[in-house]
């Protein structure tokens, strides 16, 4: 059965990552991680700006997460916040995204 492009872009997935002894749950748009985004990340490695590009990509891919501010309210994973987050935290989320998007091996 055919699928519309808008359906591909509307899909959301949930995943989680362990960080500093806590579980962070998040929702993301798999369709936002495209070959163009991958090329941007590769280019950022060459230019030594990978941490900035990771923050930018995550701001485009993440829909929500359960990271709270000191006031107990959910924080929006926007670029301004992500640029202030520890790099190892952002890397953990990026790795969890990659693991979740990678096709699972089928058992025989």
Per-residue pLDDT of 86-103, as tens digits, reads 999 998 998 898 888 877
Q: What is the pLDDT of residue 78?
A: 96
Q: Give 41's contacts (C-beta < 8 A, 6+ positions apart).
A: 50, 53, 54, 57
> Higher model confidence: residue 68 or residue 6?
68
Tell which CATH classification among 1.10.287, 3.30.2220, 2.60.40, 3.30.70 matches the domain 11-98: 3.30.2220
DSSP calls for the chain: ----HHHHHH--EEEEEEETTEEEEEEE-GGGS-HHHHHHHHHHHHHT-HHHHHHHHHHHHEEEE--B-TTSPBPP--HHHHTTS-HHHHHHHHHHHHHHHSPPPPP-
């Amino acid at each position: 059965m055919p699928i519309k492009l808008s359906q591909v872009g509307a899909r959301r997935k949930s995943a989680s990552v362990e960080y500093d002894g806590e579980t962070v749950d998040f929702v993301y748009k798999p369709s936002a991680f495209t070959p163009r985004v991958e090329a941007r990340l590769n280019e950022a490695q060459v230019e030594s700006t990978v941490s900035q590009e990771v923050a930018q990509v995550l701001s485009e891919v993440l829909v929500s997460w359960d990271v709270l501010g000191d006031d107990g309210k959910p924080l929006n994973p926007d670029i301004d916040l992500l640029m202030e987050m520890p790099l190892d935290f952002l890397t953990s989320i990026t790795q969890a995204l990659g693991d979740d998007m990678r096709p699972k091996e089928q058992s025989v």
